[in-house]
Structure 1
Amino acid sequence: MDIRLDDLTSAQITELLREHLQGMARHSPPESVHALDLDGLRQPDVSFWSAWEGDELLGCGALKQLDGEHGEIKSMRTVSAHLRKGVAARLLQHIIDEAGRRSYRRLSLETGSAQAFAPARRLYARFGFQPCAPFADYVDDPYSVFMTREMPTP
């Protein structure tokens, strides 16, 4: 699996992110969907990676810098044909490693509370993320679960 910094211009990425946003909208009301669109992912405070096997897209994930010590995981998505094959775990580890290289002290995320998001919540818990209060600009929302993990100090 090749994980690479992505410029968000390929049709495959555009389609996967469209699918991602549609999936979020199926399980949460519009005001509770916090996934970034293409423009949001192209902001200077966001790094976006895609995972590939040859020329086949496997999945994607992003890291948003909240401040000099705190990052947020965004847009984790695996292509449907590659679910349960370890793609998300590899992308998540890549993002955690990058957060470490940036010397972040904390890495957080928001995901859905619906049953459809249970596999994602289990994955994050396996990587040391624990439930937390809303962070950054988030507010309490019954459709959201907030999770965070402390990063090891260098």
Structure 2
Amino acid sequence: MTSSLLSLITQIDHNFLDRNGKALPAPTDVSARAQWLHEEAPYSILAHGTGADPHFIYANQFALSCFKYGIEELLQLPSRLSAAPQDRSERERLLQDVTLHGIAYHYTGPRIDKHGNTFTIYDGVVWRLSHPDGSPFGQAALFWSNELERPAWYTGVK
């Protein structure tokens, strides 16, 4: 794992803690937390940058498997393309809510993979990302690919 990737997932985790009061879900005995979040988390973690049409800046391995993209492909993708055209207005409303309130919980909705196949994301949380000086650098999301199945160590996020 590169140092820039390690730094980014650590920032995403710290921002989640700041907004939620808990760090991203993980077993208590994980020693290399950032590496575990990137490689082994049983849920997706994604982030996009700022701008008029933000591109993805991060995806963990689970997210890549859901969307069926390689990392290089996904990082070139505008994040709006993760939803089908008919679902983009609902996605945009969610992102505007996060801009206003800093975090949004319990989102469930359709997404599309690289091949145009639809899948559902469950129990999503989306939060605002900011640098230590408070300046924004994007938004991040976590979601589950199964409606009900969670690991025994999972205690929820709020």
Is the TM value for this pair above 0.5? no
The structure with the largest strand share of the pair is 1
Q: Which has the higher contact order (CA 8 A, sep 6+)?
A: 2
TM-score, with normalisation over the residues of structure 2? 0.38
TM-score, with normalisation over the residues of structure 1? 0.39
